[in-house]
Amino acid sequence: MSVFSWPARVYWEDTDGGAIVYYANYLRFLERARTEWLRSQGHSQLELAREPGILFTVVSVQVDYRAPARLDDELQITCEPVPEGAASLRFAQRIYRRAAADSVSPELLVEANVRVACVDASTLRPKRLPRFLLDVVATEAVNSG
């Protein structure tokens, strides 16, 4: 399987006064891409909160900003999940500006590593990742390696 990729566009609300994406708003793009990756596997955050009663919470983020995104840019946000222990996943994520007509490849704007923990929806205590998620991540690792 190839790396999961999700398209987005930069809107005015994403930018600062200079029409450049405000640094903290890149986290929103990263979050949405992880949510869409999960949805592409047939699961929604709401469904998982109800049954089997789990939530995902970000426990660490490391972000390297390479170049700014600007108002109206078309972006591609990627996700590559890797299991990390019994109750967490690490996502290698990148945000690219989609290639312009006169360019061969997209421009890398942001690289991030995001660690999310699986927690019980009622107690917020760590909980093992569900089997279906471990199976998906393992299958993706085999297919990409």
List the domain range (segments joined by +) for residue 65: 4-144
Plot region of 112 (φ>0 → left; ψ -120 to 50 → alpha; else → beta): beta
Residue 102 pLDDT more than 80? Answer: no
Strands 74-83, 4-9: pairing kind: antiparallel
**Rounded to whole angstroms, how far apart are CA atoms 69 and 83?**
30
DSSP at 12: G
Read off the CATH number of the domain in which 67 is found: 3.10.129.10
**pLDDT at residue 1 in the model:** 42
Active site residue 16: yes
Q: Which residues contact 59 (CB under 8 A, 6 or more apart)?
A: 88, 115, 116, 117
Pick the catalytic residue: 16, 64, 72, 135? 16
> Where do we find the tokens 């949805």?
39
**Rounded to whole angstroms, how far apart are CA atoms 89 and 54?**
14
Q: How many domains does the chain have?
A: 1
Query: What predicted TM-score, i.e. pTM, was given to this entire model?
Result: 0.90
Q: Using one digit for the tens of pLDDT, what is the confidence trace for 32-88?
A: 999 999 999 999 999 999 999 999 999 999 999 999 999 999 999 999 998 898 999
**Rounded to whole angstroms, how far apart are CA atoms 120 and 34?**
19
